[in-house]
Amino acid sequence: MPGWEKWLWGGLGWAMLGPIGGILGFALGSFRERASEEDGSYTDRAYPRTRPGDFGVSLLVLFAALMRADEQLRKSELSFIKDFFTRTFGPEYAQERMILFKDILEQDYPLRDVCRQIRRHMDHPSRLELIHLLFGLAQADGHIDQVEIDVIGRICGYLGISPADFESIKAMFIRDTSSAYKVLEIEQDADEEAIKKAYRRMANKYHPDKVNHLGEEFLQVAEEKFKAINAAYQEIKRERGF
């Protein structure tokens, strides 16, 4: 029966490894079917090597949800993803993950369940990095649409990211007169002591050392956020004159 194999592998993956395992299993089955249709053969070496809890796969799942938000798959977004994986993990890994990404884009998967699995296996600082990267992807075409913001906000809810953290990261990408205060997660009428306290808290929360286990590229993303926090603090200091 055409199509049975990918559903079998997807079902096994879901049962053994949760939603992300199901996605990987479905994609593996799809790849096997295509290989069989093309030349009647299949080799494990041709398919991306993945493992449970693969951080790169988690990223691809969320990237796909965001790219489908406005029902347009833009070349600039695909380039952002490929460039990110190339810089982070190397060209071979990037090529493998882009093959997998094509299958993930074609699947209709439960975003809530996938995010819950990510939440169980990923610490809070790492999940904050995911949100920062999602905003980076949304901005890849030079503009962040409201529908993309809504999807990122929904993902934040599923990942256990607070509305304050969401607004803080969003303010790093979408600037207005209150952005500096949003970055520090404080109100515009906060007094000097509250501002200094908020700065210390945010600097600790987003310190690059908290995500050094994710690799060099994620450290660079963390450093960008850390610089944004410092810039917001300096802006408020100039405005308030302290």
- Residue 15's pLDDT is 39
Residue 215 has pLDDT above 80, yes or no: no
- Measured over all CA atoms, what is the biggest interatomic distance in the chain, rounded to whole angstroms? 73
**In the chain, domain spans:** 162-242
- Residue 19's pLDDT is 53
Distance in angstroms (rounded) separating the CA atoms of residues 84 and 1:
39
CATH of span 162-242:
1.10.287.110
123 phi and psi angles, rounded to 5 deg = -70, 165
Residue 17 has pLDDT above 50, yes or no: no
- Cβ pair 77, 36 in contact under 8 A: no
- Residue 35's pLDDT is 44
Whole-model pTM? Answer: 0.70
- Residue 50's pLDDT is 38
Residue 41 has pLDDT above 50, yes or no: no
